[in-house]
Amino acid sequence: MNEAFIFDAVRTPFGKFGGGLAGVRPDDLAAHVIGEAVRRAPKLDVERIDEVVFGNANGAGEENRNIARMGTLLAGLPVSIPGTTVNRLCGSSLDAAIIASRQINTGDADLMLIGGAESMSRAPWVLPKTEKPYPAGDMTLVSTTLGWRLVNPAMDPDWTVSLGEATERLADKYAITRAAQDEFSANSHNLAAAAWDEGFYDRLVTAVPGTDLVRDEGIRPGSSAGKLAGLKTVFRTENGTVTAGNASPLSDGASAAWLGSENAAALLGMDPLARIAGRGAHANDPQFFGYAPVEAANKALAKAGIGWDQVGAVELNEAFAAQSLACITAWGIDPSIVNRHGGAIAMGHPLGASGGRILGTLARTLQATGQRWGVAAICIGVGQGLAVVLENVTATTGPAKTASAQTATVKG
């Protein structure tokens, strides 16, 4: 099979709910990162793009007609480029990368543009269609911003608890304290702020035209566990631990990345950053969705033929601090290798875009640190998890080698 590589990644700053990107349609967010990815490829003939695959979790509003296709057309790319949209909730854009990498592996494609977009600010309210016209009673609008809506009454009630209550149950099960969650969350903010100050995100992030947002909007420099300890719990009034401070905020944003075969290096005019070495998906009880990345990552590592002792960097999407801590503990890894440049608790979690964010951040982290192996993992509502293992090509071959030499070395 052909090897699949990641060549470049770019995303918007992530805006807060009702914040700096709330005035931008999700299909326009998608079009912006698609256009920016194209602009950053110096030798690209856009006709050589095999397909665009984008993730989106909502699908009920302005993105409802296949956001991959809409974003491609709005970006001015040729109408001949196909587009498909993936919905695996929070894992949608990481799933887009997995799908694209398989197409590359099988030889069906040489060059794929993947990513995802979400505007949680602009997610609509929906009204169920009545079975008969002119109902006599009141009808209730339902928010599509996050979580369950229009639940099938046959579904087990334990499966349909809120994401926050599910996280409380996970914290109970694995004895994760409020103090540990607040400490983890404060660290996320401070690492993200430091990474921005040090210029780590300068290459990874592109501002959206017509907005003033140049950094992730939710970051709070100088956060501390002490400050976060003063926040009230949200989902339980007694014995609760989950607060607005130790959970990822509702967010808006988009991400994109170039994936391709060895041949894509010449098409893009870029050397690859990393090889996609392993992929994993796992599902468990829906109310313990936060724990599903544990086995997803273990499966991806097994596919890559390595163990956790060889992993030098992890990007774990921080849906909640308790969920993240449960996964890190289960893996038995050094927490310092996880989210070195901050995570979703600080930067935000626009559902369809987050998988692309962690994949691009991981590739650039491996490049910056020289570590060979990294894992990107994400939890997904309704009890699923996804993971991808990346191998840093330059760590094994040296940056001066050509893409062809790099690939030959990795294969050998």
Residue 282 is among the residues annotated as catalytic for this protein: no
Catalytic residue among 189, 282, 327, 379: 379
**DSSP-derived 3-state class of residue 266:** helix
The 3 state secondary structure assigned to 126-170 is ECCCCCCCCCCCCCCCEECCCCCCCCCCCCCHHHHCCHHHHHHHH
Catalytic residue among 90, 282, 327, 341: 90
Cβ atoms of 217 and 112 closer than 8 Å: no
- Containing 196, the helix (H) or strand (E) segment is helix 178-197
If we measure between CA atoms, which residue out of 190, 193, 177 comes closest to residue 329? 177
Q: How many CB atoms lie within 10 A of CB 334?
A: 12
Catalytic residue among 32, 189, 341, 349: 349
Contacts of 194 (CB under 8 A, 6+ apart): 342
Give strand ranges (E) for 44-139. 51-55, 83-86, 111-119, 125-126
Residue 32 is among the residues annotated as catalytic for this protein: no
- Containing 260, the helix (H) or strand (E) segment is strand 251-260
Residue 90 is among the residues annotated as catalytic for this protein: yes
Distance, CA of 332 to CA of 47 (rounded, Å): 46
If we measure between CA atoms, which residue out of 214, 249, 21 comes closest to residue 119? 21
Give me the phi and psi of 356, to 5 degrees please: -65, -35
- Which residues participate in catalysis according to the annotation? 90, 349, 379
